Structure 1
């Protein structure tokens, strides 16, 4: 699946952009599948809001249980100060996670695409395993910022092996919150780990609390159907979406099963 030049780009930059990986028809089908999931979702009394801010990362059981289920997480700005919704449900969901890749037939079909495993083989994965998935809406006007992070913080293996397959299901632009990355910084150390604490709950182990540099950040605007490969140690982010256009994406993360996956990782698959 990958040429030598593409492998070198991924190894040197920490990411690789593969345009036209999905057809427009498949992107439309996946958007419809996500819309059907949201339509069937009844939040009831429990509302889980997604945030990437460190002081809000002590997640509840609903979040932890999403490792093996399809759960729904709202945008922070979807509610007013009194906790009342400010937008309809289908415009309020931040993301769906984290088991779409084997519980939803449409997303399972994409996640099982042999091309993903051919890419993994080209990058020397010995036992490629799909670990988690999420559908990200980046809602118009209120789509929240995802702060700069490394995926290995959340999906840690020894040695590091996580790789993200990020599919643009709509055009991702500077206006609606495309990805940004720090090329080459995947060669640096892991700055933190997100774990289940022995006393209960979750939290970070911080190794280096210096901010990520702003200089050198590169935007990755891509068109619908593009696949972006992301090295697990690559710092990347997306800014808030204040535009009137959404930025739907599907992400599935793979690890090498030949590596150790610690029991303290927040996500524990069955």
Structure 2
């Protein structure tokens, strides 16, 4: 049995033995090795990137009236709502995004993602769900690079803060290579530079990609071992079981390397 085959067998065993006693739950797609990282309801993460409009006196007079109507839950015209959102009002951005019917008009998905992203950046963590659905629907080929960069930043910051939905989306986009291109360096930074609960799920995903690809060279095995060493200290029983069962297999592969290769293997320790 190859290392890749044993990897997937152990993922299956780890999944069967795991329990759902932690706040976060992981499921495993055995076709891709992708770890889906999902949080239960009530574990919402709010991230404030841009403070935005917090008081009516920050607005010009016409938009003050619009903001008051919105706060009173009265109907606000689409154009007025957009003007308020574009001025930096996170609530207006959230309400506007929910009005954009990108299912009927797919070309509007990037606009919906933009306004959901504005809402999420202003600390409205609930907007991340609509944000991800809109990003899933957008066409990267017809979306400006500036907008994709902004959307990517929002997703990365929410994942780094421990948002399960954002982390799960990042892993999907990483495996697919779209809509943001190669997320590998971003995921690696998340693992190394943050203590987010998501970092362990990401580390296991990165290790799985290396092993699934059959990486048997010193550098690849050293990198995979560094990721798995980190995951072996995770709070999640499922992640620990998978990592602890994979590490002996990786160590076995490292021990089988020619002496000159194993001696030259770089230190791939990942911050705990």
Smaller-chain TM-score range?
under 0.3
Q: TM-score, normalised by structure 2?
A: 0.26
Larger radius of gyration: 2
Instruction: Flag the structure with higher helix content.
Output: 2
Q: TM-score, normalised by structure 1?
A: 0.26
Instruction: Flag the structure with higher strand content.
Output: 1
